Amino acid sequence: MLRFTAVVLLFVETAAGINAGEPLYVPHGAGELGMAFSSSAFPGHWSCFHNQALLVQRSATSVACALETRYMLPSLSSQALSLMVAGSTAPLGIILTHYGNGDYYRVFSGVGSAVKITDRFALGIQIDYLTERSIGDYRDLSHITFEAGTIMDITSDLTVGLHILNPLASLNSMPSSVSAAVAWHQSDNLYVTAQLSKVTDEPLSFHGGINWKIMDKLVLMSGYMSSPSAFALGTGLRAGQLQIDAGFLIYSVTGITSSVSFIWIIGGKEG
């Protein structure tokens, strides 16, 4: 019965998403989820795939994996693998995600890079390939699109980020999304973020988050998003070159979405 319910929910999401409003890319990163995905101006491994311009802020190469379960239903789970190769000239980001189950699934892959235009301004872009597979008489689909982002350091403590996914919506009939974000940090230990996001045929959504590092090892996150309405909580542990994060989105109607992610930092140290 649970599997049947999950399949029905997945098909409803897909029908409403590809033709209406669900983003093509299911965002990942338990730390970012713990901040209600208010992350388009926040420095972090997974944030680089929410806004590719953030790649220029990464000083160390890192590999990561993430698991996410929507509404605590295993059949609505997603998995992601990602690689971020640091570079002073053109850093590289590669991501592969899988969302769904044996009856329907969506595979998303992307390759992106970024460049500093000035000391305060950076531009990033990513080419994406999306495939959908389903059982029965449903037609399998494949799509190619791209996304782009910018960041600007207004001051040493304040960063603004802009991001657009699938600006080709008028050509490929898939939804697009636009986000504008700001991140303020008192120090490397405390970040406060805010973001406005708009997906095709969906209401404007506000996202806000806090990321607080305690004693250089433990990180606490909290956040809120307005559409759909949800509160976010998260925690993270830093142990040497390994980062482990867990996050939860608590919805008022559909329940809880949980996520866990692991980041291995190679040849350096990130805050």
Residue 7 has pLDDT above 70, yes or no: no
Determine the pLDDT at residue 23.
Answer: 52
What would the pLDDT profile of 211-254 be if each residue is shown by its tens digit? 999 988 899 999 999 999 999 999 999 998 999 999 999 998 88
Structure-model confidence comparison of residues 89 and 64, the more confident one: 64
Asked if the structure places residue 226 within a domain, the reply is: yes
**Which CATH number does the domain housing residue 242 bear?**
2.40.160.60
Asked if the structure places residue 170 within a domain, the reply is: yes
Asked if the structure places residue 271 within a domain, the reply is: no
Nearest to 222 by CA among 34, 31, 68: 34
Per-residue pLDDT averaged across 178-204, rounded?
94
Rounded to whole angstroms, the Cα distance separating 165 from 161 reads 14
* 206 CB burial (10 A radius; 0-12, 13-18, 19+): middle
The structural domain count of the chain equals 1
Residue 268 has pLDDT above 90, yes or no: no
pTM of the model: 0.87
Asked if the structure places residue 209 within a domain, the reply is: yes
